[in-house]
Amino acid sequence: MSQLAKNLENSPTAARRQREREARYQTILACAEDLFASEGYHAASMEKIARKAEVSVGTVYFYFKNKEDLLVKLLNDISFHIRELVGKEFSRSEATLSGFEKAGLAFFNEFCLKHPEKIAIFFRESVGQSAEVEIQRKKIFDKIITDILGALSRLFDKMGWTFKNPLAPEVMAVSIVGMYERVAYQYLIWQDRSSELAQVGQDALDFIVGGVQSLRAESE
Amino acid sequence: MSQLAKNLENSPTAARRQREREARYQTILACAEDLFASEGYHAASMEKIARKAEVSVGTVYFYFKNKEDLLVKLLNDISFHIRELVGKEFSRSEATLSGFEKAGLAFFNEFCLKHPEKIAIFFRESVGQSAEVEIQRKKIFDKIITDILGALSRLFDKMGWTFKNPLAPEVMAVSIVGMYERVAYQYLIWQDRSSELAQVGQDALDFIVGGVQSLRAESE
Amino acid sequence: MSQLAKNLENSPTAARRQREREARYQTILACAEDLFASEGYHAASMEKIARKAEVSVGTVYFYFKNKEDLLVKLLNDISFHIRELVGKEFSRSEATLSGFEKAGLAFFNEFCLKHPEKIAIFFRESVGQSAEVEIQRKKIFDKIITDILGALSRLFDKMGWTFKNPLAPEVMAVSIVGMYERVAYQYLIWQDRSSELAQVGQDALDFIVGGVQSLRAESE
Amino acid sequence: MSQLAKNLENSPTAARRQREREARYQTILACAEDLFASEGYHAASMEKIARKAEVSVGTVYFYFKNKEDLLVKLLNDISFHIRELVGKEFSRSEATLSGFEKAGLAFFNEFCLKHPEKIAIFFRESVGQSAEVEIQRKKIFDKIITDILGALSRLFDKMGWTFKNPLAPEVMAVSIVGMYERVAYQYLIWQDRSSELAQVGQDALDFIVGGVQSLRAESE
DNA sequence: GATGAATGAGGCTTCATTCAT
DNA sequence: CATGAATGAAGCCTCATTCAT
């Protein structure tokens, strides 16, 4: 059979193969995510990950350069999710307090509530593992901080407010992220109080709004 | 030589020995702290710790049951420091906003600023390592949260305020701790901007005060 | 290449793999047996075992959970051998003195003579190592004692004999096992006198038969 | 004070010192014996031994060259005890069956029953530890075998019996020791059946006597 | 003589990674 | 492509032994 004919015949096969590859890639990543979050990065051995994904260790290494690569890819994923859900919300917020608030709630309710594993990985398991990972973390972190800074500056602009001092916006952004982190982490602990979590998110947001306002210059 | 003379001479010897023992214990603990903070708990091998402390591995094991024990002892230390510096400040704060503020600043300026490694260990490296460690962490964490809750409730009492809802104080406490954590962590990153750190602390505090006030019931 | 052809070719490959795996498992077990017997359980380090089996340490751990597991598997093996060679002989002995004698000789000549290492491991190296091992040992030991007790009771039944006292059969069984143990152990020492070992076995058996008869009630 | 006077004065002190040294030596040896027997040679660390003897590790090393030395000294002790209690009994036995029997019972009742730890050490813990120990073991073992052989030969002489074959006495001696070993070991297990142990010893002895007689030449 | 802190070699075990099939 | 057996470096920990006081 000619190569051409084979290609023609194989084409659907190739497509299927492609799909299967993609699916397997995602399966492995998802299993790694689960294990990193539940057992920790170190305790989650490559073999455990492989077993959970129902593939062999070799297969994991076919799709990912090494263990660190899994973590980096995961961070990319998380970054993408966060920005998709939250960053955009911040960046297109209508530069009003209520818009700002809406974006914050999106983070709590859409992200933390639904993907606690991602929180655990981003804020905990990926810390201090290696230079490469650290670079990734910093990049993502910076993006988020930048998003928040942007939202704050547009908000203040629009409202005609000014910052109490030059450091204020940065401190706010960092503070907010810190709150997010811990409140989100608390979500992991408060699984049994899930009915109250919406209220928790709202309260946290009120706290933020109050905090933000107290960092605008008084003389206005 | 008379027995009396010998005692006089030996007594200081024994005392010196005791001091040396204590010193070595502290040296090892300090080296472990440094390495845990800078490289992470896992990457800090017992051999590295021993080498840094300029003792043999065996000596480390003479003073500490195992690696986990080092971490637990470190957490105890940290707990002691935090409560010494901050907890007391909170608990004896004069139940005014400015008292509350003073306590918060103490945490930033006296603790985070001076002991960023302790922050790193307490908030990061000690997480998810083992049951024993987790128990220690929780105990310390709970103490801090309790301290803050107490300060908040006394503050609100005195001022005649009421909480927006029952969850509010808890959310505040957690939020505050989260801010502390991240801002303190930021201190690790911002080593080169240390001149600005006092301002950072003040801003964070303003943020907190604003947040706290926005969680009191409106109808008053 | 057609799938069929491939299967034909792969099938033996898979079979060969399986064989190789089994062979390696047995090789490692055999090397462990040799070293346990010749150097003792403790002195036989996992690295020595690996080196002797010409594999890496990791490979040993691929086939066996840990060092204790090697010992347990070895004991299982030994138990199987003993009962295969001796236990059955005892249990199907025709309940005559000569049948009883034949079974005893089988133990000496077929087992002790040919597998002195197994004797060393079972009676010496496996003693007092761990709970798990102790359980295995006891199980095997009990089986053997039970086999002997059974043979004795059938013998006495058939011959119309009765035991001197209720403890007698148990003492006999234990005594016999003790003799086996030491005589077998002596085989290890008397390697250079192997030509005489058949005589040793026969004499030991005569000793046993005499002993057994002296524990039947006199008044018959 | 003159040197002479001092000596006169110190003399009782020196004697006391000597007594204390001897006592301490024995204490350490006894503690080592207990631990070797109960936990095994390897598990009994020098520190455990020291702690049990209520001295420091250094002191143990003052009295004994090293750990192996402890075992060797212990074996010497055991050898001395065995020969004192049993060997002499055998060697001065009046060369009758009942004399022979009496000696055997002495071993069971005076030695095994009262010093099961010594049995454990001699027959188990001292095996396969090192060349030096092995030499000691063999020496003691040979002495015992020789004692038994002597008793047997005198017995057979006196009774006008002859051995079935040249190997017979050696086989008997070894068999008897094997029985002793295992029955004695069984004593460790049967602690709760101590009331029956006298019967066990008697039965074992009957077994031996029967065995011995079945190894004399038939044609007499 | 006695003490006990210090040493460091060596043992067991795990696990990321490779590679022949 | 997938498999999984094999590797070996590296980690934690124990313990016999030494030696300054």
Domain positions in chain D: 1-64, 66-220
CATH topology of domain A67-220: Tetracycline Repressor; domain 2 (1.10.357)
Rounded to the nearest angstrom, the gap between the alpha carbon of residue A13 and the centroid of all alpha carbons in its chain is 35
Band the pLDDT of A84: cuts 50, 70, 90: confident
What residues does B216 pair with on adjacent strands?
B163
Question: Measured between CB atoms, does D44 come within 8 Å of chain C?
Answer: no
pLDDT of D182: 80
- Nucleotide at minimal C1' distance from the A65 CA: E17
What residues does D163 pair with on adjacent strands?
D216
Burial per residue of D144-157, b for 16 or more beta-carbon CB atoms within 10 angstroms, e otherwise: bbebbbbbbebbbe
The minimal CB distance from C210 to the residues D40, D182, D210 is found for: D210
Are the C-beta atoms of B78 and B47 separated by less than 8 Å?
no
pLDDT of B62: 97
pLDDT of D1: 47
Are the C-beta atoms of B163 and B216 separated by less than 8 Å?
yes
Q: Do chains B and A touch (3 or more CB pairs under 8 A)?
A: yes
- The pLDDT > 70 percentage for chain A reads 88
When mean pLDDT is compared across B7-16, B196-205, C44-53, the lowest value belongs to B7-16
pLDDT under 70: residue ranges of chain C = 1-12, 87, 90-94, 191, 219-220
Instruction: Please determine, for residue A100, whether its predicted confidence score (pLDDT) is greater than 90.
Output: no
Q: Please indicate whether, in this complex, the C-beta atoms of D167 and C215 are within 8 angstroms of each other.
A: no
Nearest-CA residue of chain A relative to B195?
Answer: A167
- Helix/strand/coil percent split, chain A, to 5: 80, 0, 20
Can you read off the two tokens belonging to residue C11? 């099938």
Q: Please indicate whether, in this complex, the C-beta atoms of A179 and B178 are within 8 angstroms of each other.
A: yes
Phi, psi of A100 (to 5 degrees): -60, -45
pLDDT digits 0-9 by tens, B135-164:
888 888 888 888 888 888 888 998 999 999
CATH topology of domain C66-220: Tetracycline Repressor; domain 2 (1.10.357)
Burial per residue of C130-144, b for 16 or more beta-carbon CB atoms within 10 angstroms, e otherwise: eeebeebbeebeeeb
Domain B68-220 matching CATH 1.10.357.10: the answer reads yes
Those nucleotides of strand E lying less than 7 Å from any protein Cβ are 1-21
Nearest-CA residue of chain A relative to B199?
Answer: A167
* Superfamily in which the B1-64 domain is placed by CATH: Homeodomain-like (1.10.10.60)
Q: Do chains A and C touch (3 or more CB pairs under 8 A)?
A: no
How many residues can be counted in chain A?
220
When mean pLDDT is compared across A176-185, B40-49, C39-48, D6-15, the lowest value belongs to D6-15
- Tokens 């992200």 correspond to A111
D51 CB burial (10 A radius; 0-12, 13-18, 19+): middle
pLDDT of B48: 97
pLDDT digits 0-9 by tens, B174-184:
888 888 888 77
When mean pLDDT is compared across A54-63, B3-12, C196-205, D69-78, the lowest value belongs to B3-12
Band the pLDDT of B109: cuts 50, 70, 90: confident
Q: Please indicate whether, in this complex, the C-beta atoms of B179 and A183 are within 8 angstroms of each other.
A: no
Band the pLDDT of A163: cuts 50, 70, 90: very high
Q: Please indicate whether, in this complex, the C-beta atoms of B211 and A210 are within 8 angstroms of each other.
A: yes
Are the C-beta atoms of B108 and B184 separated by less than 8 Å?
yes
> Average of pLDDT values for D1-29?
74
Question: Measured between CB atoms, does A171 come within 8 Å of chain B?
Answer: yes
By C-alpha distance, which of D147, D140, D149 is closest to D122?
Answer: D140
Estimate in Å the CA A135 to C1' F9 gap, whole number: 27
Q: Please indicate whether, in this complex, the C-beta atoms of C199 and D165 are within 8 angstroms of each other.
A: yes
pLDDT digits 0-9 by tens, D125-177:
888 788 889 888 888 888 888 888 888 888 899 899 999 999 999 999 988 88
DSSP secondary structure code for residue D121 in this structure: I
DSSP secondary structure code for residue B217 in this structure: -
Other C-beta atoms closer than 10 Å to the C-beta of B14 total 10
* Range of A148-162, C94-108, C135-149, D76-90 with top mean pLDDT: A148-162
Burial per residue of A27-44, b for 16 or more beta-carbon CB atoms within 10 angstroms, e otherwise: ebbebbbbbbbeebbbeb
Phi, psi of B102 (to 5 degrees): -60, -40
pLDDT digits 0-9 by tens, A122-137:
888 888 788 888 888 8
DSSP secondary structure code for residue A56 in this structure: -
By C-alpha distance, which of A32, A98, A96, A104 is closest to A63?
Answer: A32
How many Å apart are CA A179 and CA A172, to the nearest integer?
A: 10
**Do the domains spanning D1-64 and D66-220 agree at the CATH topology level?**
no
Sign of CA dihedral D114, D115, D117, D120: negative
pLDDT of C4: 43
Are the C-beta atoms of B46 and B57 separated by less than 8 Å?
yes
Higher pLDDT pick, D95 / B72: B72
DSSP-H helix ranges across C53-167 = 57-63, 67-82, 88-91, 97-105, 116-120, 131-159
By C-alpha distance, which of B104, B98, B74, B101 is closest to B86?
Answer: B104
* Range of A5-9, A190-194, C1-5, C123-127 with top mean pLDDT: C123-127
Q: Please indicate whether, in this complex, the C-beta atoms of B174 and A180 are within 8 angstroms of each other.
A: no
Band the pLDDT of B91: cuts 50, 70, 90: low
Can you read off the two tokens belonging to residue A34? 């689960």
Q: Is the CB of C61 under 7 A from strand F?
A: yes
Are the C-beta atoms of C176 and C144 separated by less than 8 Å?
no
Those nucleotides of strand F lying less than 7 Å from any protein Cβ are 1-21
Estimate in Å the CA A122 to C1' E17 gap, whole number: 25
Estimate in Å the CA C69 to C1' E13 gap, whole number: 13
Band the pLDDT of B7: cuts 50, 70, 90: very low
Estimate in Å the CA A52 to C1' E19 gap, whole number: 23
Half-sphere exposure of A188 (CA within 13 A, CB side): 17
> Average of pLDDT values for D48-55?
97
